[in-house]
Amino acid sequence: MSRPCPQHQHPHRLIQQPLSDLTDKLRQGELKITIPRQAILDVLRKHSSPLTIKEIHTSLGKLDCDLATIYRNMHTLERMGLVRRYDFGDGAARFELSPEEGDGHHHHLVCTRCARIVELDDCFLNEFQDQLARRHGFTQISHRMEFFGLCPNCQVP
């Protein structure tokens, strides 16, 4: 389905962090270090683009843990800021490891046919967002933005 993205297109910011870092964070959050938890983080570390729960589950392979466990873990990991959730509008949430520290906010360009995902590094919307907030009196403002189209490989039926 989704194939690996050419390296030159997006030097992604998933800095390979030592496992101890992650487990450290787990401990800080008073989370127990369990087999499924470690395995999920491992899977996420090995992929550069956001994965669905199903993809995570099949990536876990022989460690065939329950879907409910993955769902629950994605929530807790998200709550801890270890993982970032994306919604491409196809009904399945996708997750990737949060880039280290900085808010690492970024967006995606998604092929509507093969689901290939290109990561876009920069988000230029912050000042526009602030302006919007001021104009309409909103606070705690955030945004979702994704691009869709046919990738080069999918343009010939």
Rounded Cα–Cα distance for residues 142 and 146 (Å): 14
Q: Which of 46, 75, 134, 143 binds DNA (CB under 7 A)?
A: 75
User: Does 115 contact a second copy by CB under 8 A?
Assistant: no
CB atoms within 10 A of CB 155: 10
Secondary structure of residue 96 in the 3-state scheme: strand
User: Does 144 contact a second copy by CB under 8 A?
Assistant: yes
Residues 78-107: x where in contact with a second copy by CB under 8 A, - otherwise, as a string: ---------x-x------------------
Q: Which of the residues 95 through 154 are near DNA (CB under 7 A)?
A: none
Binding at 33: pick from DNA, a second copy, none (beta carbon under 5-8 Å per type):
DNA
Residues with Cβ within 8 Å of residue 88, at least 6 apart in sequence: 94, 108, 110, 146, 148
Binding at 136: pick from a second copy, DNA, none (beta carbon under 5-8 Å per type):
a second copy
Cα angle for residues 66, 19, 78 (degrees, 5° grid): 50
CB atoms within 10 A of CB 33: 12
How many residues bind DNA, per CB under 7 A?
26
User: Does 19 contact DNA by CB under 7 A?
Assistant: no
